Amino acid sequence: MAPGKTAPRLLQDVLTYDARYEKRAANLLVSPPPQHESKGRALAAVPTRNCRHTLLKKCEQSQLPVAGETPDHATVYKVASYCTRCRWHIDVVVDHRSDPGKDRPCKKGDTDYLLHHFLYEGEGDSDDANALGAQLQPHTYTFRCSAPHCPVAVRISLKPPRFSEQDIDTLTNQAQLRRRWEVAKQMAGDRADTTMARRVDAVDFLNTYLQDSLNPSPGKRRIPLLNKRFLKTFGRDCDSILKNLGFSNQSEPEEDGSMCEVWYLPKPEDAKSPLESTLRNKIEDARYEINTIILAIPEAERTGCRHVPMYPGPSRADIERALACADYAKVQGREARSANHEEDHPHYASLGAIGDFDDALILFAFSRQCAVDLDNKSYYFECLQQIAVGRKSEMLETQVALLASEGLVSRKDLEHAYRYFNINPMHGPVIGDDHIIGSFRARLSDISPLQIDEARKQLRVLGDARKSDKLRAEAAGAIETYEQALAWFDLEHSHVDDFVMTMYSLKIEDNPASLETAQRALSIIAEKRKSQRLRQFLKTGAMTEPEMDMGDAYAAFGIQDRNAALDLEVLNSQLSMGGGFGDSARMEKAFALIQQDQASNQNNHIADKNRPEPRRNSYPLETWPVGLRNIGNTCYLNSVLQFLFTIKPLRNLILNCEDHMQDLTPEALKGKTVGRQAITADRVVVAQKFVRELRAFFERMITASTDTVQPNIDLASLALCRTDSPEGPPKSPKVTVTESTVVDSIDRSVASGPQPPPPSGDATPITPADSVMNDDDDAKSDTSTKAMDGDQDDRPAPPTRPPPIPPRPEPQPATSTSTKTKISILEESARQQDAAEVMGNIFDLISCAIKGEGVMRENEQLDAIKKLFFSDVTTILNTAKGTGKQLEHRDFFLVTPGQRDRPLYAALDDDFGQQEIEGGTRYDYIEAAAPIQIINLRRIQFDRVKREQVYARAHIGLDTTMYMDRYLAKTSRLGEDQLLELRKAQWEKQGQLRELDAERTELQTTEIDGMNLAETLEETSTFIDGLLTEKSEHQQRNQPGQDSLPTPPPELADALHDKAKHVAKGVEGIDVIMRDLETDIDAIFRDCNDVPYRLHAVFTHRGGVTGGHYWIYIYDFQNDRWRSYNDDRVEDIDEKTVLEPETGVQPKASTGVVYIRADLVDEYTEAVCRRPETIAEASQADVDMRDAFDDGDYDGMPSLEPAALDDVQIIEGVDVGKE
């Protein structure tokens, strides 16, 4: 049998197949894809000239699937479409009636057949014709699902346009229109029209005629040839066009006895079944094409047209639903893929798959191809191997290894094995096993003993590929016994272990391919001799002691309590003086490990700066970003600083800040406005102090000779201070603390470090007390829950500052009061602010510190910050008084995750979509989008039932590429009106989605924590069933007449059990419909991909409403890798870690994401900017670059001159009294 293709692959091929170029480009629909040759010239999977179809629905010719409907043996779907680009008509018919004996259609959820897998059956007869040539004939191709129990057959019909390019030229060419006008004046004389027809008139009039033919009325069927408009527009040049559409003409006598030529409109049949093809269909097709032709004419030339534009919806979602592939599982990062614009590697096409399949579907496609095309199984295995390598997929690599262990080999391996024995691979199928064995034995006599293993390996490949036990037996020179192992190494029983290892090294050095055999032999010898040294050598490759761990390091110094803060100076002195230790190198290594552990977990650093900091990783310093040490509840600030450092234009601005500083003269400050507030000289002084501190810190991040640096306290203080109070800053408050409060402190040398992400599983992660994410104002409001909340009548205007941070717990009663130092006050007052709030304050400080480049709306200063981060947003208000606009600049967008997992698009659609307000509606769009888009997620919401703040842990799915088209005023391809029409279609479906979500919430909500309604009913049923059992046992034990337990009705447990199943099934049904609706919503904007943005950073939080920990993931575009920035640890991570949800009681949650415009990612981002100094340079620079912990007595610190920080307003914060 020939290879097949899955339903999504078939749809992708439909979207890229162009019958006009079939002879040159082959038939993508029915021809097997060419086998990919890695050494050959790369060929495009789809020829460049092929049309990438944009298909719109023809509803009157369609029989569409209904969301949630289960097809049966009588079901037939038809999705009739036409392409707005090439104007071809494509019908997809999915027939479940073809084989009544099969009753198990493939579908999602079926454990064996997740998707349809179609085999091409043949081409049907063409019943329509076109005079332009055979390549423009209609085609119908038939496919059948290969699953043994699936009855589905698919017919794909492709029909050329009803109007050829020559027809369109005849109707719209101005030169031809002028000639027809001249002929009309000759034929009609004075009755001829005085002006020639416009380009739009012929198609406009023809559209009216066709519309009248579909809806006939008396007096509108007859058109005299000498009608002045008809004569000058159509004349006699268009006769063939009209007749092809069903028009007819004849001569009729006039009242005066003269003969007159008359045209009659087509007479289509009444509307019939969508499955039948009639003249009515041809006229409808023509009207759709005319609609496309008219809309392509400039609007200025369409003035006065009778044509009413039609905006059919996209048909792709309906085709996917008909083919049962609307919501198949996709690989992370490809959920928003536009399949007919992106080209996959040829290996996907060979498997009948597409590139966005998740790993399970790739394996399904592989298994189906192997089942129907055994002859090419080795090639399909090669495809699977390469896809596994390209994706770096552990699941696929494991399956490849399992298949290889079962004897499956790739085409490349098979060809190499044949050639190894001087056999042409083309002759392999006709050569017998005996000939191959003879070649093998002949080769053994000509090669050295070191090459024998390779020969056996190649013979085993042939045995597996040919499924030949004879070849496998010949290849099995397996080492199974102790004697065989010694013989393989040329050893005697008396040889000691050291000599065994010497021979092992010589064997693999002479023949690296024999490594596996050598390890097997060594393992047999080690187990026979019970030699721990050989086992260690086999495990580590060395005879030295195992790698020292942290326990060994502490034990080397005789330290039992690893959790205590140590005096590192004492340990260093012991090491320097010898201390009675034997192995000095080992002790040096132990001391370095203890230093690293104390710095990470106790924030304990040795004062000797001449000793280099222990390395955190093995990457060269110049290739890896520095980590930022936590100086006390600043994990959120560290995340913000790491992000800002990667923005190249901002970093360069800060490093060269002296060229941009604001002049402090009154004349220069006149009119300077930032954040809608007039800026004073005092505020500029503080802002410039911050910018200079930030410059010094960025320079340290670039030149540090260590893996980590520590933010200066001045920098942290200024970043956490608000300087925008118009009334003047109040005095800093006295701070009261409780004795029981244990938090990180800048004044103490011991601080708890960040909590890394937990291992997989459901264990409850530990939430360290180094970040509290809360906000008192938000705790007093119940408007934080807005996503799909039916009780919300209005949505407040979007904020111009960062989102409210989550609520803080009330302060505990103070047991002791003390006046803190300046540093302590700053730390206690600014503890654990949200990353977005800190970022907003930093943006304001930078804008205040630098000169403006111009003036924006409302006299706001235009500067680099505005250009990089601020978008111009328009809010449209529709009320009874009319339509109004509100204009606003935003540096971020705030969205709500909702109560269930969903993509970021869905959350943004809620924010930008139509919302009910008092007396009307409102919606937003972006007039001018910033190159850097920051999207913050409101994780803290108010539960109206529980009357308390809750943490929304719903996972927000992120795409590595996000298209902003749907949120913009207009794009290069779509105008404002066209985008508005798409939005209206989206709003209608969003309304349905909100209604379903409210119904789902009602079925899910109970007053019992952690249990929905179905679970509550089931637990109640179980309890009552147990109560009845206990009642029965109680009666057996007690004497008659004693009090008995209450007796519930016996049928109550079963009734509750049935009700629980009914409720659960109802929720599942709602989920299916909601997923279908979300698919339809996405389909509306599926082809809106003119403005791509790439994912750059993800702010991440683990914790709850009272506390937690921040870190950030940042993508390095230059080196194509993700890194995790977790305070002082910067680690390389897999993309799945960033994008996929965690499991467990308290999984991580994204609180903010950053996207960069795709064409600017290399220009605007640079994750690695390092020029490490030598140790000598760094030591000399320590005089000016001191860490916070090196200052000793903070009370003696000089004030932050020239800025007076004693009276600066502080961002409010609280102590952490409990976890």
Please write down the HEC assignment for all residues of 357-415: ECHHHHHHHHHHHHHHCHHHHHHHHHHHHHHHHHHCCHHHHHHHHHHHHCCCCCHHHHH
Helix boundaries (H) for 1038-1188:
1052-1084, 1135-1139, 1161-1164, 1175-1181
Confidence of residue 755 (pLDDT cuts 50, 70, 90): very low
Pairing relationship of beta strands 948-951 and 956-957 according to DSSP bridges: unpaired
The least confident of 201-210, 914-923, 1019-1028, 1058-1067 is 1019-1028
Residue 913 has φ and ψ, to the nearest 5°, of -70, 180
Decide if 294 contacts 163 (C-beta within 8 A).
no
Closest by CA position to 383, among listed 358, 405, 412: 412
Instruction: Indicate the residue among 302, 320, 339 that finishes a domain.
Output: 302
1049 occurs within a structural domain:
yes
Residue 936 has φ and ψ, to the nearest 5°, of -100, 145
Helix (H) or strand (E) holding 1093: strand 1092-1103
Decide if 85 contacts 147 (C-beta within 8 A).
no
Taken in order 847, 852, 853, 856, the sign of the CA dihedral is positive
The proportion of the chain whose per-residue pLDDT surpasses 70, expressed as a percent, equals 78
Decide if 344 contacts 331 (C-beta within 8 A).
no
Contacts 24+ apart (CB under 8 A), 972-977: 972/1090, 973/1090, 974/1088, 974/1090
Instruction: Write the pLDDT tens digit of every residue in 152-169.
Output: 999 999 999 999 999 999
1116 occurs within a structural domain:
no
Confidence of residue 339 (pLDDT cuts 50, 70, 90): very low
Judgement on whether residues 559 and 444 belong to the same structural domain of the protein: no
Decide if 631 contacts 716 (C-beta within 8 A).
yes
- Residue carrying the six token digits 């290594």: 589
Instruction: Write the pLDDT tens digit of every residue in 209-255.
Output: 999 999 988 777 889 888 889 999 999 999 999 999 999 999 988 77
Judgement on whether residues 463 and 563 belong to the same structural domain of the protein: no
Mean pLDDT throughout 126-147?
72
Global confidence as pTM: 0.46
Determine if the peptide bond prior to 804 is cis (ω within 30°): no
Calpha distance 278→270 (Å, rounded): 9
Judgement on whether residues 169 and 273 belong to the same structural domain of the protein: yes
Taking 70 as the threshold, does the pLDDT of residue 816 lie above it?
no
Confidence of residue 703 (pLDDT cuts 50, 70, 90): very high
Taking 60 as the threshold, does the pLDDT of residue 433 lie above it?
yes
DSSP 8-state symbol, 755:
P
The reported pLDDT for the residue numbered 557 is 78
Decide if 648 contacts 1163 (C-beta within 8 A).
yes
In angstroms, how far is CA 56 from the centroid of its own chain?
27
Calpha distance 126→136 (Å, rounded): 11
DSSP 8-state symbol, 765:
P
The reported pLDDT for the residue numbered 162 is 94
Confidence of residue 760 (pLDDT cuts 50, 70, 90): very low
Judgement on whether residues 984 and 1076 belong to the same structural domain of the protein: yes
Helix boundaries (H) for 492-620:
497-510, 515-529, 532-540, 550-556, 568-576, 584-601
Closest by CA position to 200, among listed 72, 293, 271, 314: 293
Judgement on whether residues 441 and 558 belong to the same structural domain of the protein: no
Decide if 632 contacts 751 (C-beta within 8 A).
yes
Domain around 573: 550-601
Taking 50 as the threshold, does the pLDDT of residue 1191 lie above it?
no
Pairing relationship of beta strands 961-963 and 1092-1103 according to DSSP bridges: antiparallel
Instruction: Indicate the residue among 272, 287, 302 that finishes a domain.
Output: 302
The reported pLDDT for the residue numbered 100 is 81
Judgement on whether residues 473 and 585 belong to the same structural domain of the protein: no
- Residue carrying the six token digits 């977990």: 601
Taking 60 as the threshold, does the pLDDT of residue 276 lie above it?
yes
Instruction: Name the β-bridge partners of 1149.
Output: 1101
Q: Residue 1116, exposed/middle/buried by CB under 10 A (0-12, 13-18, 19+)?
A: middle
Confidence of residue 20 (pLDDT cuts 50, 70, 90): confident
Calpha distance 250→261 (Å, rounded): 6
Confidence of residue 643 (pLDDT cuts 50, 70, 90): very high
Instruction: Write the pLDDT tens digit of every residue in 1060-1069.
Output: 888 888 888 8
Residue 505 makes CB contacts below 8 A (sequence gap 6+) with none
Judgement on whether residues 581 and 472 belong to the same structural domain of the protein: no
423 occurs within a structural domain:
yes
User: Alpha carbon of 751 to those of 564, 754, 768: distances in Å?
Assistant: 12, 10, 11
User: Alpha carbon of 1017 to those of 946, 1051, 1065: distances in Å?
Assistant: 20, 14, 13
Helix boundaries (H) for 768-877:
776-779, 822-829, 835-849, 864-869
Tokens of 539: 């495990």
Judgement on whether residues 172 and 261 belong to the same structural domain of the protein: yes
Confidence of residue 712 (pLDDT cuts 50, 70, 90): confident
Instruction: Write the pLDDT tens digit of every residue in 1107-1160.
Output: 678 899 999 999 999 999 998 899 999 999 999 998 876 789 999 999 999 999
Judgement on whether residues 472 and 577 belong to the same structural domain of the protein: no
Sheet with 76-83, side-by-side order of all strands: 5-6, 117-123, 139-145, 153-159, 89-95, 76-83, 55-57
Taking 60 as the threshold, does the pLDDT of residue 782 lie above it?
no
Taking 70 as the threshold, does the pLDDT of residue 822 lie above it?
no
748 occurs within a structural domain:
no
Mean pLDDT throughout 556-565?
74
Number of domains in the chain: 4
Taking 90 as the threshold, does the pLDDT of residue 515 lie above it?
no
Taking 90 as the threshold, does the pLDDT of residue 998 lie above it?
no
Instruction: Write the pLDDT tens digit of every residue in 91-106.
Output: 999 999 988 888 899 9
Instruction: Write the pLDDT tens digit of every residue in 349-398.
Output: 999 999 999 999 999 999 999 999 888 888 899 899 999 999 999 999 99
Angle, in degrees to the nearest 10, between helices 1052-1084 and 976-1004: 170
Q: Is 190 left (phi over 0), alpha (psi -120 to 50) or beta?
A: alpha
Judgement on whether residues 171 and 256 belong to the same structural domain of the protein: yes
- Residue carrying the six token digits 């190159």: 931
The proportion of the chain whose per-residue pLDDT surpasses 90, expressed as a percent, equals 37
The least confident of 9-18, 741-750, 774-783, 1130-1139 is 741-750
1062 occurs within a structural domain:
yes
Calpha distance 870→951 (Å, rounded): 28
Taking 70 as the threshold, does the pLDDT of residue 7 lie above it?
yes
Judgement on whether residues 567 and 471 belong to the same structural domain of the protein: no
Decide if 1161 contacts 1117 (C-beta within 8 A).
yes
1163 occurs within a structural domain:
no
Q: What angle do CA 1081, 1087, 1089 make, to 5 degrees?
A: 110
Most confident of 312-321, 719-728, 837-846, 990-999: 312-321
Q: What is the mean pLDDT of the chain?
A: 79
Taking 70 as the threshold, does the pLDDT of residue 733 lie above it?
no
Closest by CA position to 842, among listed 868, 823, 874, 820: 868
Taking 60 as the threshold, does the pLDDT of residue 257 lie above it?
yes
Taking 80 as the threshold, does the pLDDT of residue 39 lie above it?
no
In angstroms, how far is CA 624 from the centroid of its own chain?
25
Q: Please list, residue by residue across 96-125, b when 16 or more beta carbons sit within 10 angstroms of its beta carbon and e when fewer do.
A: bebbeebeebbeeeeeebbbbbbbbeeeee
Tokens of 320: 């996917």
The least confident of 151-160, 243-252, 267-276, 1173-1182 is 1173-1182
Judgement on whether residues 169 and 258 belong to the same structural domain of the protein: yes
Residue 165 has φ and ψ, to the nearest 5°, of -60, -35
Taking 90 as the threshold, does the pLDDT of residue 559 lie above it?
no
**If you count them, how many residues does the chain have?**
1219
Instruction: Write the pLDDT tens digit of every residue in 1088-1110.
Output: 999 999 999 999 998 887 667 88
Closest by CA position to 172, among listed 141, 142, 204: 204
Residue 740 has φ and ψ, to the nearest 5°, of -85, -10
183 occurs within a structural domain:
yes
The reported pLDDT for the residue numbered 892 is 93
Taking 50 as the threshold, does the pLDDT of residue 529 lie above it?
yes
Tokens of 1033: 């046992």
More confident residue, 603 or 305: 305
Name the maximum alpha-carbon separation found in the chain: 134
Mean pLDDT throughout 904-930?
91
Decide if 544 contacts 578 (C-beta within 8 A).
no
The reported pLDDT for the residue numbered 767 is 37
Instruction: Indicate the residue among 584, 601, 618 that finishes a domain.
Output: 601
Calpha distance 196→185 (Å, rounded): 10
Strands (E), 169-221: none
User: Alpha carbon of 30 to those of 37, 141, 682, 712: distances in Å?
Assistant: 21, 8, 75, 67
More confident residue, 1034 or 536: 536
In angstroms, how far is CA 105 from the centroid of its own chain?
30
Calpha distance 1156→961 (Å, rounded): 9
47 occurs within a structural domain:
no
Q: Provide the 10 A C-beta neighbour count for residue 272.
A: 11
Residue 66 makes CB contacts below 8 A (sequence gap 6+) with none
Q: What angle do CA 820, 823, 829 make, to 5 degrees?
A: 75
The reported pLDDT for the residue numbered 1039 is 53
Taking 70 as the threshold, does the pLDDT of residue 1200 lie above it?
no
The least confident of 527-541, 1074-1088, 1168-1182 is 1168-1182
Taken in order 118, 122, 126, 130, the sign of the CA dihedral is positive
